[in-house]
Structure 1
Amino acid sequence: MISIVKDRAVDTFKVQKNKIKLGLIANEFYDLSLGRMGGFGVAIRQIADLFNQKSELEVEPVFITGGLSETGGQTEVIAHGTRLLILPKDKHQRRQLLKNEKFDIVLTMDYRSNYRPIIDSLPRVPVIIWVHDPRTPYDMKRIESTRIPGQGDNVPQGLKPVNCTSLAEIVEKSNSPFSKRPIVFAQPAAYYEEKVVGTYGVQPSEITLLPNIIEHIIDEPQTIVKSEKPSVVFLARLDPYKRPWLFAELATYFPEVDFIFMGKNHFQGLGAWEPDSLPSNVKMMGHIDGEEKIRLLSSAWVLVNTSIHEGLAISFLEALMCETPILSCVDSENVVSRYGVYVGRWDGSGREALPKFVEGLQRLLDDKNLRERLANQGKKWVKETHNKSQFIESFQYLCQQVGVIAEKS
């Protein structure tokens, strides 16, 4: 069952105490000093930014990382103006540190096995599992088919299967008389529901729609001006399962178009993609954030995504908010087929998909009316769906479900 929360006032929460302390568990936080840069990091940062900026909501966010352990006694840093706890390796010290924080509720960015020690250390704290990239065994088999051109049958880096089934044990334990800890599930896209059981081994009785927070990235009214010379962008990590080589090869078919890579590689050596001998119309921008990212997305004619697998990619939502349609071989929640051109599914290296990518990009570049119609429709959908108000409404509902806040008076 999917629960959609509507028509609730969202100015403040009537809380059972002065402020809710919210733990945000993730492995990335969109901070170069803290490791990987990706959509998970963007999404979790957006939540912290929202509550930090809207103090009247009386929610205090605290980041908790499952991907780092303390060194030299440092158990805390600041990321995006938010405290980030770096947990001790020692189980007893970790439990005591988390206990001292007195969290009212935690929200996880999807679920990964290294979250378990954190959740186990908080046996009575309610948990929201925010499903973002559920990978069933079928999905993981497809991802493992990825191969980098020129590297033969060598297995690329970053394709290791993600086993999330330990979440089922956490849910079972939380239902015990000792814990009685509520665990609820949320998702930003309705199509995830069919993947939950295969990914986590859990069948929730309800999954609440909890959107991403995207509409604020453009200050409106703001006129978006597309580049005079056609430009297309790639916004993702340059890791193998994103198959960035397809974007580079696509550039050879369009020498009069600027192809702009926004993202960095997190791997090196055999099993990583090295961007060498690139066409002259390809620009490597590395990691881009803030106003520069929005400027490049807004001026681009098309966002190209070549991944073998995606959830509802944050980059899709950002591009549409910047009035840029999408060309891709993944079609999560039918977003690409609704607001761009979907070229079909292609496994392995993906090179067989190049004719379809060429055909789709040519269509978008040649038809300004089509681009504008898709972009305008996509922007309208993002503004209406993935916004602060919808997020707050759903978050309030989830908190009510687990008894953290009272009904709004």
Structure 2
Amino acid sequence: MIRVGLIIDEFFGGAGTAFGGYGFLAREYISKYIPNEDIEVDVLLGKGSKKLCVEEYEIDNISAYRLPRRKWFAKRWLKKRNYDLYLSIELTDNYILMNEPNKNKKLILWIQDPRPKYEWDEIETVKLFPEYNYYNQNIYDLVHDWYKQERVKFISQGNFLNQKAIDLYNLDKDVNIQYLPNPIDIDERFDVQNFPKKNMIIFLGRIESVKRGWLFCEIAKKMPNYEFYVLGKTHREESKNSEIMSDYYAISNLHFVGHVKGLEKERYLKEAKILVNTSIHEALPISFLEALSYGTLLVSNRNPEDLTSKFGIHVGDVLGDGFDKVDLYVDAINHLLSNNEEREKISKEAIEYIKTIHNVPKFISDLRKVIVEESK
């Protein structure tokens, strides 16, 4: 039995954590599909509130833990658990690895959204409500040190992210980074050609500064003949985010649905024709893949792996608060909705792309293989 410690700071609502993309991957894909008769996965949520004792949770038949705040007790607990290796979705906290007493343990680092300083410079052009900057050189230095000790296996959800990871972790230019795309559950019964999609436009994600949800609202204001739905809620800085968004509650064709999941989320993804993403910064968001799996096309100022330009319209860079560029999104939406034949053709191509590149069986096989190889 290979014992894997999955290091993550959120578990999509589990143990009171936030609902974010990393947690979604951890809970809905890694913890759900990777354990088998040969691999056991524990979720490690970093430092807990108790000084001497570990905090344990049972979530979806997976054990999750927060470690003691006193380092000696954390080290003792990790020594007892004796994980064969660690797996981290990016690395947002170094408490676990700092307290691992065995200097031979390895880390599989799944590159998801590396943010070197130049990425934060771009994010900080937003002035309406600044994003919390979590840049932490200590974490990046730790990854660098483990890498130099040949203790890190890098995998990446997108090739376009690799240079950012090289810059962030100060890696050699020829570092081996294995392509391992994020998985998406695919509804094989869904037939986009015969499904009656609506003139519905959706926003799917957290309502936070970096997402610039106010731009989606401004778009809805300019397009009263279409229905716009905000699927998501605020997690950080709730009062400030809510204050900004409350100015838009009176728009009659704009609907604030809140956090959605399961069949409810699937219904919106199936019925919508377009997903709009207005973020100042993105890696390759799960929401893009989910939308494309149902033939819902993309309109965004972000173009990860060229997916927006292939399966929708990339409006170009939109920096700052973005109010001066709202018409770019409006024009893109109008183009897609007024050209049904073109949109339907691209919708079918999008679904086939997701089925080929982001299917779950391939993800299971590839990640299990990496885990087995790195545990030797």
1:395 is matched by which residue type in structure 2?
A: L
Task: State whether structure 2 residue 163 is matched by structure 1 residue 208.
Answer: no
Q: Which residue of 1 aligns with 2:287?
A: 315
Alignment of 1:278-317 (within 5 A): 278=248, 279-317=251-289
> Please, which of 13, 31, 36 is the counterpart of residue 48 of structure 1?
31
**Matched-pair contact (CA < 8 Å) for 1:321–1:378:** yes
State the Cα deviation string for residues 353-382 of structure 1 (Å, max 9, x = none).
211101000011111122222222122111
Using the alignment, how far apart are the partners of 1:67 and 1:147 within structure 2?
32
Instruction: Identify which of structures 1 and 2 has the higher relative contact order when contacts are C-alpha pairs closer than 8 Å and 6+ apart.
Output: 1
Q: Which residue of 2 aligns with 1:371?
A: 343
Alignment of 1:94-105 (within 5 A): 94-105=74-85
- Using the TM superposition, give the Cα deviation of residue 120 of structure 1 relative to its aligned residue in structure 2, in angstroms: 2.3
Task: State whether structure 2 residue 323 is matched by structure 1 residue 351.
Answer: yes
Q: Which residue of 2 aligns with 1:128?
A: 108
Q: TM-score, normalised by structure 2?
A: 0.91
Q: Which residue of 1 aligns with 2:190?
A: 222
Using the alignment, how far apart are the partners of 2:146 and 2:300 within structure 1?
41
Q: Which residue of 2 aligns with 1:140?
A: 120
**Percent sequence identity over aligned pairs:** 28
SS of match in other structure, 1:36:
coil
Using the alignment, how far apart are the partners of 2:77 and 2:26 within structure 1?
22
Q: Which residue of 2 aligns with 1:10?
A: none
> What is the number of equivalent residue pairs in this alignment?
368
SS of match in other structure, 2:276:
strand
**Matched-pair contact (CA < 8 Å) for 1:143–1:159:** no
> Please, which of 26, 35, 44 is the counterpart of residue 17 of structure 2?
35
Moved more, 32-41 or 314-323: 32-41
State the Cα deviation string for residues 84-123 of structure 1 (Å, max 9, x = none).
11111110111122222221121101022x2x22012223
**Matched-pair contact (CA < 8 Å) for 1:165–1:199:** no
Structure 2: runs of 5 or more not aligned: none
Q: Which residue of 1 aligns with 2:223?
A: 254
Alignment of 1:226-237 (within 5 A): 229-237=198-206
**Matched-pair contact (CA < 8 Å) for 1:22–1:59:** yes
1:293 is matched by which residue type in structure 2?
A: K
Residues 190 and 229 of structure 1, relative CA distance in 2, 3 Å threshold = closer
Task: State whether structure 2 residue 82 is matched by structure 1 residue 78.
Answer: no
2:181 is matched by which residue type in structure 1?
A: P
Could you list the runs of 4 or more consecutive aligned residues of structure 1 that deviate by over 6 angstroms after TM superposition?
none
Residues 67 and 192 of structure 1, relative CA distance in 2, 3 Å threshold = farther
SS of match in other structure, 1:275:
helix
**Matched-pair contact (CA < 8 Å) for 2:2–2:372:** no
**Matched-pair contact (CA < 8 Å) for 1:68–1:86:** yes
Using the alignment, how far apart are the partners of 2:54 and 2:369 within structure 1?
36
- Using the TM superposition, give the Cα deviation of residue 182 of structure 1 relative to its aligned residue in structure 2, in angstroms: 2.1
Using the alignment, how far apart are the partners of 2:247 and 2:148 within structure 1?
57
Using the alignment, how far apart are the partners of 1:364 and 1:397 within structure 2?
41
Q: Which residue of 1 aligns with 2:139?
A: 166
- Using the TM superposition, give the Cα deviation of residue 210 of structure 1 relative to its aligned residue in structure 2, in angstroms: 1.6
State the Cα deviation string for residues 135-166 of structure 1 (Å, max 9, x = none).
12111101011122xxxxxxx25331423563
Using the alignment, how far apart are the partners of 2:356 and 2:111 within structure 1?
21
**Matched-pair contact (CA < 8 Å) for 1:23–1:106:** yes
**Matched-pair contact (CA < 8 Å) for 2:125–2:319:** yes
Using the alignment, how far apart are the partners of 1:67 and 1:31 within structure 2?
17
SS of match in other structure, 2:245:
coil
- Using the TM superposition, give the Cα deviation of residue 395 of structure 1 relative to its aligned residue in structure 2, in angstroms: 2.1
Residues 200 and 175 of structure 1, relative CA distance in 2, 3 Å threshold = closer
State the Cα deviation string for residues 191-238 of structure 1 (Å, max 9, x = none).
111111222222362001122120x242x2233575564111100100
Task: State whether structure 2 residue 173 is matched by structure 1 residue 199.
Answer: no
- Using the TM superposition, give the Cα deviation of residue 68 of structure 1 relative to its aligned residue in structure 2, in angstroms: 4.7
Task: State whether structure 2 residue 309 is matched by structure 1 residue 340.
Answer: no
Using the alignment, how far apart are the partners of 1:314 and 1:72 within structure 2?
37
Moved more, 139-148 or 199-208: 199-208
> Please, which of 260, 269, 275 is the counterpart of residue 245 of structure 2?
275
CA RMSD between the two structures: 2.2
Using the alignment, how far apart are the partners of 2:306 and 2:62 within structure 1?
35
Q: Which residue of 2 aligns with 1:118?
A: 96
**Matched-pair contact (CA < 8 Å) for 2:210–2:280:** yes
